[in-house]
């Protein structure tokens, strides 16, 4: 009898061991696969997507890429956009925004998305946008922002016209910059501060700076950081409860490497002092950007989401583009996909694969469509009875 009992005991132990091993294996397997399945199942995106959005499009801050993301969302979700009225391409910039700069502005018309260049003016924006609008913007290191602005607006901005290089400008800005020489000088100093509607020539006094930063914080739910673009998209997507594909993009309106200049080290320090208000703005919101990101996502989860975004971008690159390298104007074969060129900047675009089926072609075209063409396209969809935007100059 004892031997029988002993035998069944051993048998029981063996079964237990087998079960334990199976459970261990399963846990291991599921753990790996839950991670793989996460984008399908445990998406951070729960609830209805946010569809009322105001994006303050700052200048030379990767904001054209964000614009492409918003335009695509507008088009694929049949939303309305607050577009520039008549033949205009901007919402009155550099003048302070007023509602009548918007085509078909109320009352009582309200739009879903507002994202073209404007100088922020909350009461007027609120005449056009609904109460529950999500406000966000993007900032870039003011030193690189100024470098980009100098190349792009070289012939347009009085302060830049008469000076050979940004190094020379920063060595003696007082010689070239005259605050009373009209608003186009806004591109030459504290341009982001100006875009938020503030005085870009104000002295950077502590109480003044703090009060304006608090204004921005009160109104804007999120400030993205251009230097951390992919992390920015991860955070934006969570806040808007959007799908991954909604925030995947190619870089649009970027310059060729040979039209990016490197500044002398002393110029970088001078730029921070010259654009002290922008520097404070950037430092403040770079800090809060990372605080928000870390409060919301474990660093490992953040890396995972950034990796997913990049993987999807690579997939779309392979699907859509002839090759991954951006092309200059003469290399872009489809004239409709040539981006607007400005100043000394060589603005790049893309060539699509020639063999795409119609549905894929439409998706890919939206991803690479330069902003003026895309705006003209949305305008015609939204206001078929109005004369279309005249963008023939883009194809010359």
Ligand X SMILES: *[C@@H]1O[C@H](CO)[C@@H](O)[C@H](O)[C@H]1NC(C)=O
Reference 285, options 213, 205, 189; nearest CA is 213
Per CB under 6 A, the segment of 27-35, 36-44, 121-129, 329-337 that binds ligand X is 329-337
Q: Which one, 9 or 181, has the nearer CB to ligand X? A: 181
Out of 9, 10, 32, 77, point to the residue binding ligand X (CB under 6 A).
Answer: 77
CB of 290 to ligand X, least distance (A): 4
Rounded alpha-carbon distances, angstroms, from residue 193 to 101, 155, 171, 227: 21, 22, 22, 18
Q: Distance between CA 13 and CA 50 in Å, rounded?
A: 56
Q: Distance between CA 57 and CA 16 in Å, rounded?
A: 63
Per-residue binder mask for ligand X (CB under 6 A), 165-184, x = binder: -------------x-xx---
| ∠ Cα 121 122 127 (to 5°) | 105
CB of 34 to ligand X, least distance (A): 30
User: Does 354 contact ligand X by CB under 6 A?
Assistant: no
Per-residue binder mask for ligand X (CB under 6 A), 255-284, x = binder: ----------------------------x-
Q: Which one, 181 or 210, has the nearer CB to ligand X? A: 181
Whether residue 200 contacts residue 191, with contact meaning beta carbons closer than 8 Å, is answered with yes
CB of 180 to ligand X, least distance (A): 4
User: Does 346 contact ligand X by CB under 6 A?
Assistant: yes
Q: Using CB under 6 A, which residues numbered 121 to 150 contact ligand X?
A: 141
User: Does 251 contact ligand X by CB under 6 A?
Assistant: no
Residue 321 — φ and ψ, nearest 5°?
Answer: -100, 145
Q: Which one, 127 or 141, has the nearer CB to ligand X? A: 141
Out of 3, 46, 207, 330, point to the residue binding ligand X (CB under 6 A).
Answer: 330
Q: Which one, 13 or 178, has the nearer CB to ligand X? A: 178
CB of 139 to ligand X, least distance (A): 10
Q: Which one, 39 or 158, has the nearer CB to ligand X? A: 158
Q: Which one, 207 or 330, has the nearer CB to ligand X? A: 330
Q: Which one, 3 or 357, has the nearer CB to ligand X? A: 357
Strands of 28-171, DSSP E: 53-56, 113-114, 134-139
Out of 331, 336, 362, 387, point to the residue binding ligand X (CB under 6 A).
Answer: 331
The residue assigned the tokens 């499009």 is 57
Whether residue 234 contacts residue 309, with contact meaning beta carbons closer than 8 Å, is answered with yes
Q: Report helix angle 63-76 to 358-368, nearest 10.
A: 140
Distance, C-alpha 30 to centroid of its chain = 36
Residue 55: strand, helix, or coil: strand
Rounded alpha-carbon distances, angstroms, from residue 325 to 142, 338, 348, 352: 27, 15, 9, 11
Residue 7: strand, helix, or coil: helix
* Residues of this chain that bind ligand X (CB under 6 A): 77-78, 141, 178, 180-181, 283, 286, 290, 328-331, 346, 358
């Amino acid at each position: 009898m004892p031997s029988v009992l002993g035998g069944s005991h051993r048998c029981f132990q063996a079964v237990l061991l087998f079960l334990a091993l199976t459970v261990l294996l399963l846990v291991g397997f599921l753990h790996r696969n839950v991670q793989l399945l996460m984008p399908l199942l445990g998406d951070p995106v729960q609830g209805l997507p946010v569809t009322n959005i105001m994006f303050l499009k700052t200048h030379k801050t990767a904001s054209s890429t964000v614009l492409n993301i918003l335009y695509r969302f507008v088009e694929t979700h049949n939303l309305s956009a607050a577009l520039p009225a008549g033949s205009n391409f901007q919402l009155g910039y550099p003048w302070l925004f007023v509602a009548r700069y918007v085509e078909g502005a109320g009352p009582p018309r309200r739009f879903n998305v507002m994202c073209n260049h404007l100088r922020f003016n909350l009461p007027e924006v609120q005449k056009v946008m609904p109460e529950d609008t999500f406000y966000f913007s993007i900032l870039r290191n003011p030193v690189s922002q100024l470098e980009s602005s100098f190349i792009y607006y070289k012939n347009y901005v009085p302060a830049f016209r008469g000076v050979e290089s940004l190094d020379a400008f920063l060595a003696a800005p007082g010689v070239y910059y005259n605050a009373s020489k009209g608003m186009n000088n806004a591109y030459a100093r504290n341009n982001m501060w100006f875009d938020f509607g503030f005085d870009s020539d104000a002295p950077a006094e502590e109480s003044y700076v703090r009060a304006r930063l608090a204004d921005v914080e009160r109104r804007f739910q999120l400030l993205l950081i251009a230097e951390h673009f992919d992390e920015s998209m991860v955070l934006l997507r969570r806040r808007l409860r959007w799908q991954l594909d909604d925030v995947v993009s190619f870089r649009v309106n970027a310059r060729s490497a040979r039209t990016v200049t490197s500044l002398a080290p002393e110029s970088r320090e001078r730029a921070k002092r010259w654009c002290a208000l922008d520097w404070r703005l950037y430092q403040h919101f770079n800090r809060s950007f990372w605080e928000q990101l870390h409060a919301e996502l474990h660093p490992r989860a953040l890396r995972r989401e950034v990796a997913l975004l990049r993987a999807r971008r690579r997939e779309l690159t392979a699907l859509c583009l002839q090759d991954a390298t951006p092309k200059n104007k003469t290399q872009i074969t489809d004239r409709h996909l040539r981006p607007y060129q400005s100043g000394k900047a060589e603005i790049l675009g893309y060539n699509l694969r020639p063999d795409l089926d119609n549905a894929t072609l439409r998706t890919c075209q939206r991803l690479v469509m330069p902003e003026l063409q895309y705006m003209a396209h949305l305008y015609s969809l939204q206001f078929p009875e109005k004369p279309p935007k005249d963008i023939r100059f883009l194809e010359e």
